[in-house]
Structure 1
Amino acid sequence: MELQSCVKIINEWDIVAVRQLGRNVAKELGFGTVDQARITTAISELARNIFLYAGKGEVCIEKEFENGKPGLKIVAKDDGPGIADIRRVMEDGYTTSGGLGAGLPGVKRLMDEFDIHSKLDEGTKIIAVKWLR
């Protein structure tokens, strides 16, 4: 069983590909359709952010197991410009693209765990996990 699969994010089709990968892994792990939708929405948002703000990067989907409990981990990373003010981008309603996306606060709400590390001119790494209930 493959525990990790990564998709390089270079164009919009890669966002579609990593969404599909995430949905398939979520289904394999036994997540219901509502949680599958939450996971694919989070993946979409993270991949789109890489595409829009960093130009390129990758999103990895991993199967996690903690005390026998399965989960799905998303690791989104890029070598882009980084995020100057993480607190600000984590505010609801904050947007730089003018879009109606859920943004990073939405990703945090959709998932059970959320962690973000970013350095200016070095890039950003976001890890989000959803546990099977």
Structure 2
Amino acid sequence: MEPNSCVNIHKEWDIVGARQLGREMAKKLGFGTVDQARIATAVSELARNIYLYAEKGQICFEIIDNIEHRGLCMTAVDSGPGISDISQVMEDGYTTSGGLGAGLPGVKRLMDEFYIESEIGNGTRIKTMKWVR
């Protein structure tokens, strides 16, 4: 397993591949089964958003293993339409797809760190981290 790996998201099946890679990397890093499930769920949500709203993008996984931290960093990047109102999409219960997914607020709750930047017409970048306890 590479310390850095990316999964391109172009079709619905890519969501499954990204989720599996996230879970596999989490397991190898020593995350417990509950945190592995949290990471897999967060990856699914990020990949689904790329697929639904941007059509294509990628999720990159990076193992962080230094003196202060040991964990997994995931960055979802797309060149889609961008998010016009980040505060709105970060509200619980907000949905544009009519789905029952946890959405970005759910991803933020599942992970330890969460950063989002988006520019209309240029896409969105979400970086999130989970630390081994």
Deviations 1:8-50 (A, max 9, x none): 0000111000110001000000000000000000000000000
Deviations 1:39-85 (A, max 9, x none): 00000000000000000000011101242531001100000000000
Structure 1 stretches of 4+ with a deviation exceeding 4 A read none
Structure 2: runs of 5 or more not aligned? none
TM (normalized to structure 1)? 0.97
Paired with 1:68 and 1:102, the residues of 2 have a C-alpha distance of: 30
Paired with 2:33 and 2:17, the residues of 1 have a C-alpha distance of: 18
TM (normalized to structure 2)? 0.97
Structure 1: runs of 5 or more not aligned? none
What's the RMSD between the two structures over aligned residues? 0.9
What is aligned with 1:116?
116
Paired with 2:64 and 2:81, the residues of 1 have a C-alpha distance of: 29
Paired with 2:71 and 2:108, the residues of 1 have a C-alpha distance of: 15
After TM superposition, list the pairs within 5 Å mapping 1:55-74 onto structure 2: 55-74=55-74
Q: How many residues are treated as equivalent by the alignment?
A: 133
After TM superposition, list the pairs within 5 Å mapping 1:69-84 onto structure 2: 69-84=69-84
